[in-house]
Structure 1
Amino acid sequence: MTLTVLFAASPLNLKEVDDSYADEYRCAQAAGLFVGLIDLDPLLLGASPQQAVKRLSRPDSCEPGPALYRGWMLRPGDYTRLYEALLTRNLRLINSPQHYMHTHYLPESYPKIEGVTPESVWFPVRDRTAVEEAGSRAVEAVRRFGDRPIIVKDYVKSRKHEWTEACYIPDASDQGRVRQTVRRLLELQGAEFSEGLVFRAFEELEALSLHPQSGMPLSREIRVFVLDGEPVFVSTYWEAGEDAAFNERLGEFEEIIRSVESRFFTIDFAKTKKGPWIVLELGDGQVAGLPDDTPPALFYGKLKQQWDSTDQPIDGS
């Protein structure tokens, strides 16, 4: 069955795609995939999720047609509502809500990549305004790192573009710095904060340059999109292109890739300064951005080719 790719509609005109995804929409359609538009506002504002999908036509088939969402990150609860609403339109998202959370939240996927990813600890934060409590818990949680450098993020995202103030902690034993960085992260994330705090050992990566605005180190990183256990698109992260040396090593991670409980996801790699490639994190492929300067036509052409070659059952369980 042909895959339907669902994009966010423009808030100003629900018959048109959001400007941020206009190129992807056109290229998905040109590649031979079905496309559709979703009104995300009802979904995100707590209205009936049926309003989000009411403009979609129903596939004329006995079984729900396969669908893939491409758009802004959704909280797991919002994703679940979208998933269930689409079933009423006879469409089933490629990843179930459980599979979405598996790759969206680092603590959920950590057991799959432990040993090839930086050592990590985490704890939930139920009240992001309880800054002092979060800071105290953080001081205790990071004791295991000694005086090593670490980074802090929430369950989904870091503030990497505020590298020195809300992400990087040069010495995990510096309690004042830990508290200060946690406080700033919570402040900047605000209502977008996701679930809890994650602390990760800082790995010195093979450097490319420094970000001109934030001072964040830009490293030799790779993003791999995976469909049904097979890499479908591989590119350097900060600009589109291949890394021949990495391509030769990708096969070493095949067992890990095939163990991930998701049909469509991303796995990000980085080259350490000391030599080995490591896994940075996983992500749901539906909400993961394309690497900078990636031609959408190339991405959707490869996605369509891989989809046509798969014989996996179409279900989101």
Structure 2
Amino acid sequence: MRVIFCDRVFDHKLIEPDYEDEMKAALRAGFVTSLFSFEDLSDGKVGRALRYVENVEVEELAIYRGWMLTPSTYGLLYHGLLNNKIQLINTPAEFKYCHYLPEYYQKIKALTPKSNWTVGQEMTNFEVINSLTDEFDNAPIIVKDYVKSEKHNWHEACFIPDASNKDNVNKIVEKFIELRGSALNEGLVFRKFEELEFLTEHSKSGMPLTKEYRLFFVFGKLVKLFNYWDEGDYGNTIPDLTPFFEVAKKIDSNFFTMDIAKKTNNEWIVIELGDGQTAGLPDNGNKEEFYMALNKNIRQHV
């Protein structure tokens, strides 16, 4: 088993510093590691990006751990490695599936806030936008794209207190589109706002943090549960995970994350899914335990 990491911009022999501890943990867990150039891959120079990834004699399964990729760029990485007989754990279709909320929404619908979205050029059509937000009546909602929100610009470009106030809806949507710019992913998503249980305030930004966990799954089985935030006292708040395990079995991905959160009424919900290769580990999370469990679960499957 191999883990593919990003190299350092100015030295291909060294790993990107943010992933150095992960590489050490992966090696101790029995993985082989390789480095590639994220910058060259982003520029479409696949051969150059992978020039230091060795060819293997027999086809080998691998995991990418690194920065967020668009589905198209992930496809370049996947097929480039496949030419070296290295197959990433998720196909491009599986990567896209957990990358874009509309792809997996039906599978988590019963456990996640009501959501709808624009398609194609509809994100600049305010008649369509107003029709979508009408479905929420006067409830509070948030706007995001298929992947990310502007939660750090909460009142200006994320939170809409009343979905029936179309002037405010349009103002916040316009600001969101402006701030996301060329980084906007695919289209707009509107989600019912849910009150989550307060955890603490972020020590730097002051943003209120809520009780959330990140669950990693491989081949439908739980690898590791992490506190989503490194700050705050979580106490003994881990819920019954059975409903989430049942949903995980239905997800069309071999390696993914599920973020869950506690509402103020004590109900637990799914916030979103993500591809396990680009989802971050908490700074204080036990990386050795993660890679040990990951290696064990993969070997049991293959």
TM-score by length of structure 2 reads 0.94
Q: 1:102 to 1:243 in 2, by over 3 A?
A: farther
Q: Does 1:186 align with 2:184?
A: no
Letter in 1 for 2:197: E
How far residue 125 of structure 1 moved from its aligned partner, in angstroms, is 4.6
2:292 alignment partner, one of 290, 295, 301: 301
Q: Using a 3 Å threshold, how does the CA distance of structure 1 residues 268 and 18 change in structure 2: closer, same or farther?
A: same
* Structure 1 Cα separation of the partners of residues 132 and 151 of structure 2: 21
**One-letter code aligned to 1:165:** E
Over residues 73-97 of structure 1, what are the superposed CA-to-partner deviations in whole Å (9 max), with x where a residue is unaligned? 1111111111100011110000001
2:189: which partner in 1?
Answer: 198
Worse overlay, 86-95 or 290-299: 290-299
Kindly provide the amino acid, as one letter, of the partner of residue 276 in structure 2.
Answer: G
- How far the C-alpha of 1:210 sits from its partner, in A, is 3.4
Between stretches 168-177 and 225-234, larger displacement belongs to 168-177
* Selected match of 1:54 from 26, 30, 51: 51
By how many angstroms is 1:106 displaced?
0.2
Residues 41/141 of structure 1: CA separation in 2 closer, same or farther (3 Å cut): same
Are 2:222 and 1:231 aligned? Answer: yes
Say whether 1:246 aligns with 2:241.
no
For residues 285 and 108 of structure 1, do their structure 2 counterparts lie closer, same or farther at Cα, with a shift above 3 Å needed? same
CA distance in 2 between counterparts of 1:98 and 1:108 reads 10
Aligned residues of 1:126 and 1:195 also touching (Cα < 8 A): no
**SS of corresponding position for 1:307:** helix
Any stretches of 5+ residues in structure 2 without a counterpart?
none
Superposition deviation, residue 245 in structure 1:
4.0
Q: Is 1:80 equivalent to 2:75 in the alignment?
A: yes
- 1:112 maps to 107
Query: Partners in 2 of 1:227 and 1:242 — Cα distance?
Result: 25
Partner of 2:38: 40
Mapped contact 2:126–2:170 kept (Cα < 8 A): yes
Match of 1:279 among 270, 273, 277: 270
Q: Which amino acid aligns with 1:170?
A: P
- 2:86 aligned partner: 91
Q: Is the 8 A contact 2:202 2:208 kept in 1?
A: yes
Task: Answer yes or no: is 1:22 the counterpart of 2:20.
Answer: yes
Tell me, yes or no, if the aligned pair for 2:122 and 2:128 is still in contact at 8 Å. no
Q: Please report the TM-score for the alignment, with normalisation by the length of structure 1.
A: 0.89
Is contact 1:125–1:134 with CA below 8 Å preserved after alignment?
A: no
Q: Shift in Å at residue 24 of structure 1?
A: 1.0
- 1:196 is displaced (CA, Å) by 0.4
How many pairs were matched up? 301
Paired amino acid for 1:28: A
The one-letter amino acid of 2:274's match is: G
The runs of at least 4 aligned residues of structure 1 exceeding 6 Å deviation read: 240-243
Q: Which moved more, 1:65-74 or 1:288-297?
A: 288-297
Alignment partner, residue 10 of structure 1 = 8
For residues 8 and 126 of structure 1, what CA distance do their matches in structure 2 show?
34
SS at match of 2:270: strand
Contact kept? 1:162, 1:214, Cα under 8 Å: no
| 1:143-182 to 2 correspondences below 5 Å | 143-182=134-173
Q: Which runs of 5+ in 1 are unaligned?
A: 313-317
Greater Cα offset, 25-34 or 73-82: 25-34
Structure 1 residues 134 and 38: alpha-carbon distance in aligned structure 2, compared to 1, 3 A threshold: farther
Contact persistence 1:223–1:291 (CA under 8 A) = no
Instruction: Give the Cα–Cα distance (whole angstroms) in 2 for the partners of residues 287 and 187 of structure 1.
Output: 25
Distance 1:111 1:302 in 2: 29
Cα displacement (A) at 1:151: 0.6
Q: Percent identity?
A: 40
Check whether the contact 1:149–1:172 (CA below 8 A) recurs between aligned residues. yes
Residue of structure 2 aligned with 1:261, choices 252, 258, 262 = 252
